[in-house]
Chain A
Protein backbone atom coordinates (compact mmCIF):
# COMPACT_ATOMS: atom_id res chain seq x y z
CA UNK A 1 0.00 0.00 0.00
CA UNK A 2 2.91 2.31 0.69
CA UNK A 3 4.17 1.81 -2.86
CA UNK A 4 0.70 2.62 -4.19
CA UNK A 5 0.71 5.86 -2.21
CA UNK A 6 4.22 6.78 -3.30
CA UNK A 7 3.36 6.33 -6.98
CA UNK A 8 0.04 8.13 -6.59
CA UNK A 9 1.62 11.16 -4.88
CA UNK A 10 4.43 11.31 -7.40
CA UNK A 11 2.01 11.27 -10.35
CA UNK A 12 -0.17 13.93 -8.71
CA UNK A 13 2.88 16.07 -8.18
CA UNK A 14 4.08 15.60 -11.75
CA UNK A 15 0.65 16.42 -13.18
CA UNK A 16 0.33 19.64 -11.20
CA UNK A 17 3.89 20.90 -11.78
CA UNK A 18 4.65 23.15 -14.75
CA UNK A 19 4.26 21.16 -17.96
CA UNK A 20 1.93 18.67 -16.29
CA UNK A 21 -1.28 17.71 -18.03
CA UNK A 22 -3.88 18.70 -15.44
CA UNK A 23 -4.34 22.39 -16.31
CA UNK A 24 -4.07 21.71 -20.04
CA UNK A 25 -6.91 19.19 -19.97
CA UNK A 26 -9.15 21.73 -18.25
CA UNK A 27 -8.32 24.44 -20.77
CA UNK A 28 -8.97 22.04 -23.63
CA UNK A 29 -12.31 21.05 -22.11
CA UNK A 30 -13.38 24.69 -21.89
CA UNK A 31 -12.14 25.49 -25.39
CA UNK A 32 -14.10 22.63 -26.99
CA UNK A 33 -17.20 23.60 -25.04
CA UNK A 34 -16.92 27.19 -26.28
CA UNK A 35 -16.33 26.11 -29.86
CA UNK A 36 -19.56 24.13 -30.13
CA UNK A 37 -21.97 27.11 -29.82
CA UNK A 38 -19.78 28.97 -32.30
CA UNK A 39 -20.33 26.10 -34.70
CA UNK A 40 -24.05 25.60 -34.31
CA UNK A 41 -25.29 29.06 -33.36
CA UNK A 42 -26.52 30.67 -30.17
CA UNK A 43 -29.94 29.05 -29.99
CA UNK A 44 -30.18 28.70 -26.20
CA UNK A 45 -33.02 26.21 -26.36
CA UNK A 46 -31.03 23.90 -28.58
CA UNK A 47 -27.83 24.41 -26.57
CA UNK A 48 -29.61 23.61 -23.33
CA UNK A 49 -30.88 20.40 -24.82
CA UNK A 50 -27.51 19.19 -26.12
CA UNK A 51 -25.38 20.48 -23.22
CA UNK A 52 -25.18 17.11 -21.48
CA UNK A 53 -23.99 15.27 -24.55
CA UNK A 54 -21.57 17.98 -25.68
CA UNK A 55 -19.95 18.31 -22.26
CA UNK A 56 -19.62 14.53 -21.98
CA UNK A 57 -17.90 14.26 -25.35
CA UNK A 58 -15.65 17.23 -24.55
CA UNK A 59 -14.72 15.73 -21.17
CA UNK A 60 -13.71 12.42 -22.75
CA UNK A 61 -11.61 14.15 -25.39
CA UNK A 62 -9.93 16.26 -22.71
CA UNK A 63 -9.20 13.22 -20.58
CA UNK A 64 -7.68 11.43 -23.59
CA UNK A 65 -5.29 14.31 -24.10
CA UNK A 66 -2.98 13.37 -21.25
CA UNK A 67 -3.52 9.60 -21.42
CA UNK A 68 -0.88 8.72 -23.97
CA UNK A 69 1.86 9.79 -21.56
CA UNK A 70 0.40 7.83 -18.65
CA UNK A 71 2.96 5.03 -18.94
CA UNK A 72 5.02 6.28 -21.84
CA UNK A 73 6.90 8.96 -19.89
CA UNK A 74 7.97 6.36 -17.31
CA UNK A 75 8.82 3.92 -20.08
CA UNK A 76 11.08 6.36 -21.88
CA UNK A 77 13.10 7.55 -18.90
CA UNK A 78 13.52 4.12 -17.30
CA UNK A 79 11.24 4.74 -14.31
CA UNK A 80 8.96 1.93 -15.44
CA UNK A 81 11.72 -0.65 -14.88
CA UNK A 82 12.16 0.60 -11.35
CA UNK A 83 8.40 0.61 -10.71
CA UNK A 84 8.19 -2.97 -12.01
CA UNK A 85 10.73 -4.05 -9.38
CA UNK A 86 8.87 -2.35 -6.53
CA UNK A 87 7.39 -4.61 -3.86
CA UNK A 88 3.90 -4.45 -5.35
CA UNK A 89 2.27 -6.01 -8.38
CA UNK A 90 2.17 -4.19 -11.68
CA UNK A 91 -1.61 -4.28 -11.37
CA UNK A 92 -1.36 -2.18 -8.20
CA UNK A 93 0.96 0.27 -9.96
CA UNK A 94 -1.47 0.54 -12.87
CA UNK A 95 -4.31 1.18 -10.41
CA UNK A 96 -2.28 3.93 -8.73
CA UNK A 97 -1.68 5.59 -12.07
CA UNK A 98 -5.37 5.32 -12.99
CA UNK A 99 -6.38 6.95 -9.71
CA UNK A 100 -3.80 9.71 -10.19
CA UNK A 101 -5.03 10.33 -13.74
CA UNK A 102 -8.62 10.60 -12.57
CA UNK A 103 -7.77 12.93 -9.69
CA UNK A 104 -5.90 15.26 -12.06
CA UNK A 105 -8.30 15.17 -15.03
CA UNK A 106 -11.67 13.50 -14.40
CA UNK A 107 -12.28 15.18 -11.07
CA UNK A 108 -11.35 18.75 -12.14
CA UNK A 109 -13.38 18.31 -15.35
CA UNK A 110 -16.37 17.27 -13.27
CA UNK A 111 -15.99 20.27 -10.99
CA UNK A 112 -15.63 22.67 -13.92
CA UNK A 113 -18.59 21.25 -15.86
CA UNK A 114 -21.40 23.26 -14.16
CA UNK A 115 -19.63 26.47 -15.10
CA UNK A 116 -19.56 25.44 -18.75
CA UNK A 117 -23.14 24.22 -18.49
CA UNK A 118 -24.04 27.84 -17.65
CA UNK A 119 -22.76 28.87 -21.08
CA UNK A 120 -25.13 26.33 -22.61
CA UNK A 121 -28.08 27.45 -20.49
CA UNK A 122 -28.57 23.91 -19.22
CA UNK A 123 -32.00 23.74 -17.53
CA UNK A 124 -31.82 23.77 -13.75
CA UNK A 125 -32.81 20.12 -13.38
CA UNK A 126 -29.73 19.06 -15.34
CA UNK A 127 -26.93 20.38 -13.13
CA UNK A 128 -26.85 17.73 -10.44
CA UNK A 129 -27.24 14.83 -12.92
CA UNK A 130 -24.40 16.31 -15.03
CA UNK A 131 -22.10 16.54 -12.00
CA UNK A 132 -23.03 13.11 -10.72
CA UNK A 133 -22.76 11.39 -14.09
CA UNK A 134 -19.33 12.89 -14.80
CA UNK A 135 -18.20 12.02 -11.29
CA UNK A 136 -19.27 8.40 -11.72
CA UNK A 137 -18.34 7.98 -15.37
CA UNK A 138 -14.94 9.64 -15.73
CA UNK A 139 -13.14 6.96 -13.65
CA UNK A 140 -14.11 4.51 -16.40
CA UNK A 141 -12.52 6.85 -18.93
CA UNK A 142 -9.24 6.86 -17.00
CA UNK A 143 -9.39 3.10 -16.48
CA UNK A 144 -10.14 2.06 -20.06
CA UNK A 145 -7.82 4.77 -21.30
CA UNK A 146 -5.03 3.22 -19.24
CA UNK A 147 -5.39 0.00 -21.23
CA UNK A 148 -4.89 1.95 -24.43
CA UNK A 149 -1.97 3.81 -22.85
CA UNK A 150 -0.35 0.51 -21.90
CA UNK A 151 -0.81 -0.95 -25.37
CA UNK A 152 0.71 2.07 -27.11
CA UNK A 153 3.68 2.58 -24.78
CA UNK A 154 6.33 1.71 -27.30
CA UNK A 155 4.72 3.47 -30.26
CA UNK A 156 6.41 6.77 -30.93
CA UNK A 157 3.25 8.51 -32.05
CA UNK A 158 1.06 6.48 -29.76
CA UNK A 159 -1.07 9.53 -29.02
CA UNK A 160 -2.51 9.27 -32.52
CA UNK A 161 -3.52 5.61 -32.24
CA UNK A 162 -4.72 5.73 -28.64
CA UNK A 163 -8.04 7.54 -29.36
CA UNK A 164 -8.86 5.04 -32.11
CA UNK A 165 -8.36 2.17 -29.66
CA UNK A 166 -10.13 3.75 -26.72
CA UNK A 167 -13.03 5.80 -28.10
CA UNK A 168 -15.10 2.86 -29.43
CA UNK A 169 -14.67 1.10 -26.08
CA UNK A 170 -15.93 4.22 -24.33
CA UNK A 171 -19.19 4.49 -26.27
CA UNK A 172 -21.26 3.00 -23.39
CA UNK A 173 -19.90 5.70 -21.06
CA UNK A 174 -21.03 8.48 -23.39
CA UNK A 175 -24.40 6.85 -23.97
CA UNK A 176 -25.18 6.25 -20.30
CA UNK A 177 -23.48 9.44 -19.07
CA UNK A 178 -25.37 11.72 -21.41
CA UNK A 179 -28.43 9.56 -20.80
CA UNK A 180 -28.39 10.50 -17.13
CA UNK A 181 -28.65 14.20 -18.03
CA UNK A 182 -31.26 13.80 -20.77
CA UNK A 183 -33.31 11.50 -18.54
CA UNK A 184 -33.38 14.14 -15.82
CA UNK A 185 -34.36 16.84 -18.31
CA UNK A 186 -37.24 14.81 -19.72
CA UNK A 187 -38.37 13.86 -16.24
CA UNK A 188 -38.08 10.14 -16.96
CA UNK A 189 -36.30 7.70 -14.74
CA UNK A 190 -34.46 5.79 -17.42
CA UNK A 191 -32.08 3.94 -15.11
CA UNK A 192 -29.01 5.34 -16.89
CA UNK A 193 -27.35 6.20 -13.59
CA UNK A 194 -27.31 2.53 -12.57
CA UNK A 195 -26.06 1.34 -15.94
CA UNK A 196 -23.33 4.00 -15.83
CA UNK A 197 -22.34 3.01 -12.28
CA UNK A 198 -22.20 -0.68 -13.19
CA UNK A 199 -20.08 -0.03 -16.27
CA UNK A 200 -17.74 2.27 -14.40
CA UNK A 201 -17.34 -0.13 -11.51
CA UNK A 202 -16.57 -3.04 -13.84
CA UNK A 203 -14.11 -0.93 -15.85
CA UNK A 204 -12.26 0.29 -12.76
CA UNK A 205 -12.02 -3.23 -11.34
CA UNK A 206 -10.91 -4.98 -14.53
CA UNK A 207 -8.85 -2.38 -16.38
CA UNK A 208 -5.78 -2.50 -14.08
CA UNK A 209 -5.29 -6.16 -15.04
CA UNK A 210 -5.46 -5.50 -18.76
CA UNK A 211 -3.30 -2.38 -18.44
CA UNK A 212 -0.69 -4.25 -16.38
CA UNK A 213 -0.62 -7.06 -18.94
CA UNK A 214 -0.02 -4.49 -21.66
CA UNK A 215 2.74 -2.78 -19.67
CA UNK A 216 4.39 -6.10 -18.84
CA UNK A 217 4.85 -7.10 -22.44
CA UNK A 218 6.55 -3.77 -23.07
CA UNK A 219 9.06 -4.26 -20.27
CA UNK A 220 10.96 -6.60 -22.56
CA UNK A 221 12.64 -3.39 -23.72
Chain B
Protein backbone atom coordinates (compact mmCIF):
# COMPACT_ATOMS: atom_id res chain seq x y z
CA UNK B 1 0.00 0.00 0.00
CA UNK B 2 1.35 3.34 -1.06
CA UNK B 3 1.44 5.68 1.91
CA UNK B 4 2.88 8.65 0.04
CA UNK B 5 0.61 11.61 -0.34
CA UNK B 6 0.42 14.07 -3.19
CA UNK B 7 2.03 17.31 -2.19
CA UNK B 8 2.00 19.47 -5.32
CA UNK B 9 0.66 19.54 -8.84
CA UNK B 10 2.76 21.64 -11.18
CA UNK B 11 1.83 22.57 -14.73
CA UNK B 12 4.45 24.29 -16.84
CA UNK B 13 4.50 25.68 -20.36
CA UNK B 14 1.40 23.71 -21.32
CA UNK B 15 -0.06 24.00 -24.82
CA UNK B 16 -3.18 22.30 -26.10
CA UNK B 17 -4.15 21.91 -29.74
CA UNK B 18 -7.64 20.82 -30.75
CA UNK B 19 -8.70 20.23 -34.34
CA UNK B 20 -5.58 21.99 -35.65
CA UNK B 21 -6.30 25.07 -33.50
CA UNK B 22 -4.25 26.20 -30.54
CA UNK B 23 -6.59 26.38 -27.56
CA UNK B 24 -3.93 27.98 -25.38
CA UNK B 25 -0.20 27.85 -24.85
CA UNK B 26 2.43 28.74 -22.29
CA UNK B 27 0.03 27.94 -19.47
CA UNK B 28 1.58 27.34 -16.09
CA UNK B 29 0.32 27.07 -12.54
CA UNK B 30 0.96 25.17 -9.35
CA UNK B 31 -1.26 23.76 -6.68
CA UNK B 32 -0.39 22.35 -3.26
CA UNK B 33 -2.17 19.82 -1.11
CA UNK B 34 -5.26 21.34 0.44
CA UNK B 35 -5.77 23.95 -2.26
CA UNK B 36 -8.62 24.55 -4.67
CA UNK B 37 -8.22 26.05 -8.11
CA UNK B 38 -11.22 27.37 -9.93
CA UNK B 39 -10.98 27.43 -13.75
CA UNK B 40 -12.98 30.25 -15.21
CA UNK B 41 -13.62 31.64 -18.62
CA UNK B 42 -16.21 31.75 -21.38
CA UNK B 43 -17.40 28.75 -23.37
CA UNK B 44 -14.70 27.45 -25.67
CA UNK B 45 -11.89 28.83 -23.52
CA UNK B 46 -10.55 25.31 -23.06
CA UNK B 47 -11.62 24.49 -19.50
CA UNK B 48 -12.77 20.98 -20.32
CA UNK B 49 -9.76 20.41 -22.59
CA UNK B 50 -7.41 21.44 -19.79
CA UNK B 51 -9.11 19.07 -17.35
CA UNK B 52 -8.94 16.23 -19.88
CA UNK B 53 -5.25 16.87 -20.40
CA UNK B 54 -4.67 16.89 -16.64
CA UNK B 55 -6.52 13.57 -16.35
CA UNK B 56 -4.33 12.12 -19.10
CA UNK B 57 -7.18 11.54 -21.57
CA UNK B 58 -5.90 14.07 -24.05
CA UNK B 59 -2.19 14.34 -24.85
CA UNK B 60 -0.72 17.79 -24.31
CA UNK B 61 0.78 19.39 -27.40
CA UNK B 62 3.66 20.73 -25.31
CA UNK B 63 4.52 21.26 -21.69
CA UNK B 64 4.64 19.22 -18.52
CA UNK B 65 2.30 18.10 -15.78
CA UNK B 66 4.00 16.89 -12.64
CA UNK B 67 2.66 15.35 -9.47
CA UNK B 68 5.16 15.55 -6.66
CA UNK B 69 4.65 13.28 -3.70
CA UNK B 70 5.34 13.86 -0.03
CA UNK B 71 8.69 12.07 -0.36
CA UNK B 72 9.62 14.38 -3.28
CA UNK B 73 9.28 11.59 -5.84
CA UNK B 74 7.54 12.38 -9.10
CA UNK B 75 4.91 10.26 -10.78
CA UNK B 76 4.70 9.35 -14.45
CA UNK B 77 1.61 9.34 -16.64
CA UNK B 78 -0.04 6.07 -15.61
CA UNK B 79 0.70 6.64 -11.94
CA UNK B 80 -0.70 10.15 -12.23
CA UNK B 81 -3.94 8.84 -13.69
CA UNK B 82 -4.36 6.61 -10.64
CA UNK B 83 -4.41 9.65 -8.38
CA UNK B 84 -7.19 11.37 -10.33
CA UNK B 85 -10.83 11.44 -9.30
CA UNK B 86 -12.90 12.53 -12.29
CA UNK B 87 -16.30 14.18 -12.39
CA UNK B 88 -17.07 14.96 -16.01
CA UNK B 89 -20.04 16.24 -18.00
CA UNK B 90 -21.36 12.74 -18.27
CA UNK B 91 -22.10 10.85 -15.12
CA UNK B 92 -21.00 7.37 -16.19
CA UNK B 93 -24.13 5.69 -14.86
CA UNK B 94 -25.58 2.55 -16.43
CA UNK B 95 -29.35 2.84 -16.91
CA UNK B 96 -29.88 -0.92 -16.45
CA UNK B 97 -28.13 -1.08 -13.08
CA UNK B 98 -29.50 0.16 -9.79
CA UNK B 99 -27.89 3.01 -7.86
CA UNK B 100 -26.23 0.58 -5.48
CA UNK B 101 -25.06 -1.71 -8.31
CA UNK B 102 -23.57 1.24 -10.19
CA UNK B 103 -21.67 2.37 -7.12
CA UNK B 104 -20.58 -1.16 -6.17
CA UNK B 105 -19.13 -1.65 -9.65
CA UNK B 106 -17.00 1.46 -9.38
CA UNK B 107 -15.90 0.60 -5.85
CA UNK B 108 -14.57 -2.72 -7.14
CA UNK B 109 -13.11 -1.17 -10.28
CA UNK B 110 -11.14 1.29 -8.18
CA UNK B 111 -10.04 -1.40 -5.73
CA UNK B 112 -12.19 0.02 -2.93
CA UNK B 113 -14.41 -3.02 -2.39
CA UNK B 114 -14.42 -2.39 1.34
CA UNK B 115 -15.91 1.08 0.98
CA UNK B 116 -19.02 1.90 3.01
CA UNK B 117 -21.37 2.26 0.03
CA UNK B 118 -24.52 2.79 2.08
CA UNK B 119 -22.81 5.43 4.17
CA UNK B 120 -21.68 7.31 1.07
CA UNK B 121 -25.13 7.08 -0.51
CA UNK B 122 -26.48 8.52 2.72
CA UNK B 123 -23.99 11.38 2.49
CA UNK B 124 -25.14 12.36 -1.01
CA UNK B 125 -28.80 11.91 -0.11
CA UNK B 126 -29.55 8.87 -2.25
CA UNK B 127 -30.40 6.37 0.51
CA UNK B 128 -34.01 6.05 -0.56
CA UNK B 129 -33.13 5.71 -4.25
CA UNK B 130 -30.70 2.91 -3.52
CA UNK B 131 -32.47 0.22 -5.54
CA UNK B 132 -33.78 2.48 -8.29
CA UNK B 133 -32.43 1.62 -11.77
CA UNK B 134 -30.19 4.29 -13.26
CA UNK B 135 -32.64 5.09 -16.02
CA UNK B 136 -35.22 6.47 -13.56
CA UNK B 137 -32.84 8.94 -11.91
CA UNK B 138 -33.27 12.66 -12.44
CA UNK B 139 -30.29 14.68 -13.68
CA UNK B 140 -29.65 15.93 -10.14
CA UNK B 141 -29.77 12.43 -8.69
CA UNK B 142 -27.35 11.19 -11.32
CA UNK B 143 -25.00 13.98 -10.37
CA UNK B 144 -25.25 12.96 -6.71
CA UNK B 145 -24.43 9.39 -7.64
CA UNK B 146 -21.41 10.63 -9.60
CA UNK B 147 -20.35 12.56 -6.49
CA UNK B 148 -20.70 9.40 -4.43
CA UNK B 149 -18.37 7.65 -6.88
CA UNK B 150 -15.88 10.49 -6.52
CA UNK B 151 -15.96 10.07 -2.74
CA UNK B 152 -15.42 6.30 -2.77
CA UNK B 153 -12.62 6.52 -5.35
CA UNK B 154 -10.40 7.98 -2.58
CA UNK B 155 -8.30 9.80 -5.13
CA UNK B 156 -6.23 12.80 -3.97
CA UNK B 157 -6.55 14.93 -7.12
CA UNK B 158 -10.13 15.87 -7.94
CA UNK B 159 -10.82 17.18 -11.44
CA UNK B 160 -14.37 18.49 -11.58
CA UNK B 161 -16.06 19.69 -14.75
CA UNK B 162 -19.08 21.83 -13.90
CA UNK B 163 -19.68 20.01 -10.60
CA UNK B 164 -22.70 22.15 -9.74
CA UNK B 165 -24.63 21.48 -12.96
CA UNK B 166 -28.13 20.08 -12.43
CA UNK B 167 -27.86 20.22 -8.65
CA UNK B 168 -30.38 21.96 -6.39
CA UNK B 169 -29.40 24.44 -3.68
CA UNK B 170 -28.74 21.74 -1.11
CA UNK B 171 -26.79 19.74 -3.64
CA UNK B 172 -24.60 22.72 -4.44
CA UNK B 173 -23.90 23.32 -0.77
CA UNK B 174 -23.04 19.63 -0.48
CA UNK B 175 -20.39 19.92 -3.24
CA UNK B 176 -18.85 22.86 -1.35
CA UNK B 177 -18.74 20.77 1.83
CA UNK B 178 -17.16 17.80 0.04
CA UNK B 179 -14.50 19.99 -1.55
CA UNK B 180 -13.71 21.61 1.81
CA UNK B 181 -13.47 18.25 3.54
CA UNK B 182 -11.31 16.83 0.72
CA UNK B 183 -8.87 19.71 1.02
CA UNK B 184 -8.77 19.36 4.78
CA UNK B 185 -7.65 15.76 4.22
CA UNK B 186 -4.80 16.97 2.05
CA UNK B 187 -6.47 16.63 -1.35
CA UNK B 188 -6.24 18.93 -4.36
CA UNK B 189 -9.20 20.18 -6.34
CA UNK B 190 -9.37 21.75 -9.77
CA UNK B 191 -12.87 22.70 -10.83
CA UNK B 192 -14.18 24.28 -14.00
CA UNK B 193 -17.31 26.15 -13.13
CA UNK B 194 -19.55 28.99 -14.22
CA UNK B 195 -21.01 29.48 -10.79
CA UNK B 196 -18.90 30.29 -7.76
CA UNK B 197 -18.20 27.26 -5.61
CA UNK B 198 -18.79 29.45 -2.57
CA UNK B 199 -15.26 28.82 -1.40
CA UNK B 200 -12.19 30.90 -0.91
CA UNK B 201 -9.93 29.66 -3.69
CA UNK B 202 -7.40 30.55 -6.34
CA UNK B 203 -8.78 31.40 -9.76
CA UNK B 204 -7.38 30.79 -13.22
CA UNK B 205 -9.00 32.77 -15.99
CA UNK B 206 -8.73 31.11 -19.39
CA UNK B 207 -9.31 33.59 -22.19
CA UNK B 208 -11.58 32.92 -25.13
CA UNK B 209 -9.73 32.16 -28.32
Q: Which chain A residues have a beta carbon within 8 Å of chain B's beta carbons?
A: 2-3, 5-7, 9-10, 13-14, 17-20, 76-79, 81-87, 89, 219-221
Q: Which of these, A7, A81, A87, A89, contacts B88 with CB under 8 Å?
A: A81
Q: How far is the CA of A86 from the CA of B149 in the complex (A)?
A: 12
Q: Across the interface, which residues of B come within 8 angstroms of A82, CB to CB?
A: 86, 92, 106, 109, 149
Centre residue among B56, B101, B105 by max chain A CB count within 10 A: B105
Closest to B58 in A: A220
Complex Cα distance, B142 from A79, in Å, reads 13
Given contacts A81-B86, A220-B59, 14 further A-B contacts (CB under 8 A): A3-B108, A6-B105, A6-B108, A10-B94, A10-B105, A13-B101, A17-B96, A18-B96, A77-B91, A81-B90, A85-B85, A86-B110, A219-B52, A221-B58
Residues of B contacting A87 in the complex (Cβ-Cβ under 8 angstroms): 82, 110-111
User: Counting CB contacts under 8 A, is B97 at the interface?
Assistant: yes
* Contact indicator B92/A14 (Cβ below 8 Å): no
- Give the interface centre of A3, A9, A81 by most chain B CB atoms within 10 Å: A81
- Residues on B lying within 8 angstroms of A by beta carbon are 48, 52, 55-59, 78, 81-82, 84-86, 88-97, 101, 105-106, 108-111, 113, 149, 155
Is the pair A78, B57 in contact by a Cβ cutoff of 8 Å?
no
The majority secondary structure among interface residues of chain A is helix
Query: Which residues on B sit within 8 Å (CB–CB) of A83?
Result: 109
Instruction: Kindly identify which residue among A10, A85, A221 contacts B48, using a CB–CB cutoff of 8 Å.
Output: A221
Contact residue among B57, B86, B149 (Cβ-Cβ distance under 8 Å from A220):
B57
Let me know if B96 and A20 touch, CB within 8 A.
yes
Contacts of A77 in B (CB 8 A): 90-95
Distance in angstroms from B106 CB to nearest chain A CB is 7
Chain B residues, Cβ within 8 Å of A5: 108
Hey, which chain B residues are within 8 Å of A78, CB to CB? 88-92
**CB–CB B113/A2 < 8 A:** yes
Contact assessment for A89 and B86 in the assembled complex, using a CB-CB cutoff below 8 Å: no
**Is B94 in contact with A85, judged by CB distance below 8 angstroms?**
no
Q: Return B75 CB to nearest CB of chain A, in Å.
A: 13
Output the residue of B84, B85, B88, B92 with the most chain A CB within 10 A.
B92
Q: Which of B82, B92, B101 contacts A81 (CB 8 A)?
A: B92
Q: Among B48, B56, B57, B88, find the residue whose CB has the most chain A CB atoms closer than 10 A.
A: B57
Given that A2-B111, A10-B105, A78-B92 are contacting pairs, would A85 and B58 also be in contact in the complex, using a CB cutoff of 8 Å?
no
Q: Given the complex of chains A and B, what is the CA–CA distance between A221 and B56 in angstroms?
A: 11
List 6 A-B residue pairs with CB atoms under 8 Å apart, sorted by A's residue number.
Answer: A7-B109, A10-B105, A81-B57, A82-B92, A85-B81, A85-B84
Bound-state Cα–Cα, A87 to B85, Å: 12
